């Protein structure tokens, strides 16, 4: 049987490319340039599979122009770069990379929360700029983490990981809001209490966003929601850009409607809203919550194993639209 042709749309670990090359004729993008939609379509001609990252948009127009395509394997748990409905309608399988990044991403969410609450970025910039001349009683005084109220919006696997860290490690009171309430055993394990979005916004000292992006979560945190938060509160976004209205957030930070924010994701990233770059009370990181080498390797391997499983045996590991798989 002849090998399928696949495209690896971005640079990735050489050992993962080598593994894929054992099964497929592989075309890869080692320059790591993010292709335009037209370039991606040109590269996908005659390809049955594609290894994508969050940077490649797979939509109806691309699918119509790439009739050979059967599977898109995302090296990310989030898949808002996929138009899943269009993929299902075209009979194209979509897979993501869940679970392998949960603990690493929860670690980062907690690190960003701590850096934000304790004003680490501001303090470091001050020191590097040679402005540290004396100790003062309130210099970079931030807010406490231990014993405070941790709010989590979006209580999937990563949200639960953050809740466990907060409750068990720092004695935080954990409240959460989610589309659906967790079962009692999971709530008990995370020591988390389900509350309305309104209560979450009004009670959290530190609010962490971990919900998936969709049309319904677009600007879930905008000016009205920021106004409901405590003036001493911090907001952490490790979910997706677009969940927060970045312009409204920059204004809220400038006006001290809330105390501080920690952002790993941005609307229209890698561009960052210029107003956010101009406010001091925000910690900014370039979408690195899952970035440890072991985790990124596990994510890449899972995406590769999805391509291998589906194209060689019809059995993907983590399908998003299993309804397109042939019925047994
Ligand atoms: C994910 O997996 O969705 C991350 O945001 C990509 O690193």
Whose structure tokens read 């490649």? 56
Give the ligand 1 atom nearest the CA of 53. Answer: 6
User: Distance, CA 290 to ligand 1 centroid (Å)?
Assistant: 6
- Same domain for 71 and 175, yes or no, is no
Containing domain of residue 59, as a range? 5-100+293-324
- Same domain for 265 and 133, yes or no, is yes
Residue 130 to residues 107, 123, 137, 138, 141, Cα–Cα distance (Å): 31, 11, 19, 18, 19
Q: What pLDDT score was predicted for residue 328?
A: 74
Q: What is the CATH number of the domain that holds 251?
A: 3.40.50.720
- Same domain for 77 and 137, yes or no, is no
Does 221 sit in the ligand 1 pocket, CB within 6 Å? no
Q: Which residues are catalytic?
A: 240, 269, 287
- Same domain for 85 and 111, yes or no, is no
10 Å CB burial of residue 14 (0-12, 13-18, 19+) is exposed
- Same domain for 48 and 81, yes or no, is yes
Q: What is the tally of structural domains in the chain?
A: 2
- Same domain for 140 and 259, yes or no, is yes
User: Distance, CA 299 to ligand 1 centroid (Å)?
Assistant: 9
Hey, how many other C-beta atoms are within 10 angstroms of the C-beta on 289? 23
Instruction: Quote the CA–CA distance of 207 and 155 in Å, as a whole number.
Output: 12
- Same domain for 110 and 199, yes or no, is yes
Does 78 sit in the ligand 1 pocket, CB within 6 Å? yes
Give the ligand 1 atom nearest the CA of 296. Answer: 7
- Same domain for 253 and 229, yes or no, is yes
Q: What pLDDT score was predicted for residue 221?
A: 98
pLDDT single digits (tens) 58-97: 999 999 999 999 999 999 999 999 999 999 999 999 999 9
Summary count for the chain: helices (H), strands (E): 14, 12
Whose structure tokens read 């395509």? 69
- Same domain for 140 and 241, yes or no, is yes
- Same domain for 274 and 170, yes or no, is yes
Instruction: Quote the CA–CA distance of 6 and 48 in Å, as a whole number.
Output: 6
Give the ligand 1 atom nearest the CA of 265. Answer: 5
Each of the 328 residues of the chain gets a pLDDT tens digit; together they read 689 999 999 999 999 999 999 999 999 998 999 999 999 999 999 999 999 999 999 999 999 999 999 999 999 999 999 999 999 999 999 999 999 999 999 999 999 999 999 999 999 999 999 999 999 999 999 999 999 999 999 999 999 999 999 999 999 999 999 999 999 999 999 999 999 999 999 999 999 999 999 999 999 999 999 999 999 999 999 999 999 999 999 999 999 999 999 999 999 999 999 999 999 999 999 999 999 999 999 999 999 999 999 999 999 999 999 999 988 7
pLDDT single digits (tens) 12-66: 999 999 999 999 999 999 899 999 999 999 999 999 999 999 999 999 999 999 9
Q: What pLDDT score was predicted for residue 327?
A: 83
Partners of 319 in beta bridges: 95
Does 300 sit in the ligand 1 pocket, CB within 6 Å? no
- Same domain for 308 and 195, yes or no, is no
- Same domain for 181 and 198, yes or no, is yes
> Taking every pair of C-alpha atoms in the chain, what is the biggest distance, in angstroms?
74
């Amino acid at each position: 049987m002849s090998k399928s042709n696949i495209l690896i749309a971005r640079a990735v670990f050489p050992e993962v490319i080598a593994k894929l090359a054992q099964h497929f004729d592989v075309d890869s993008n080692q320059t790591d340039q993010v292709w335009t939609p037209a370039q991606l379509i040109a590269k996908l001609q005659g390809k049955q599979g594609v290894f994508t990252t969050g940077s490649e948009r797979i939509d109806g127009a691309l699918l119509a122009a790439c009739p050979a395509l059967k599977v898109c394997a995302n090296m990310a748990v989030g898949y808002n770069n996929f138009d899943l409905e269009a993929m299902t309608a075209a009979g194209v399988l979509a897979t993501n990379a869940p679970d392998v990044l949960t603990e690493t991403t929860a670690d980062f969410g907690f690190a960003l929360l701590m850096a934000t609450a304790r004003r680490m970025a501001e303090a470091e910039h001050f020191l590097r700029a040679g402005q540290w001349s004396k100790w003062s009683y309130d210099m970079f005084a931030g807010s406490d983490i231990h014993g405070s109220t941790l709010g989590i919006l979006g209580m999937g696997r990563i949200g639960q990981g953050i809740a466990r860290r907060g409750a068990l490690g720092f004695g935080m009171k954990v409240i959460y809001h989610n589309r659906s309430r967790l079962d009692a055993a999971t709530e008990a394990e995370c020591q988390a209490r389900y509350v309305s979005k309104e209560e979450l916004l009004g009670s959290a000292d530190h609010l962490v966003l971990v919900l998936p992006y969709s049309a319904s979560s677009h600007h879930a945190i905008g000016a009205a929601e920021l106004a409901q938060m405590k003036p001493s509160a911090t907001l952490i976004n490790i979910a997706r850009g677009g969940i927060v209205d970045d312009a409204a957030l920059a204004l809220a930070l400038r006006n001290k409607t809330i105390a501080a924010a920690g952002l790993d994701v941005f609307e229209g990233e890698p561009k960052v809203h210029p107003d956010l770059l101009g406010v001091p009370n925000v910690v900014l990181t370039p979408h690195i919550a899952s970035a440890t080498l072991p985790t990124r390797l596990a994510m890449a391997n899972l995406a590769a194993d999805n391509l291998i499983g589906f194209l060689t045996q019809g059995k993907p590991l983590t399908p998003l639209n299993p309804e397109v798989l042939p019925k047994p």
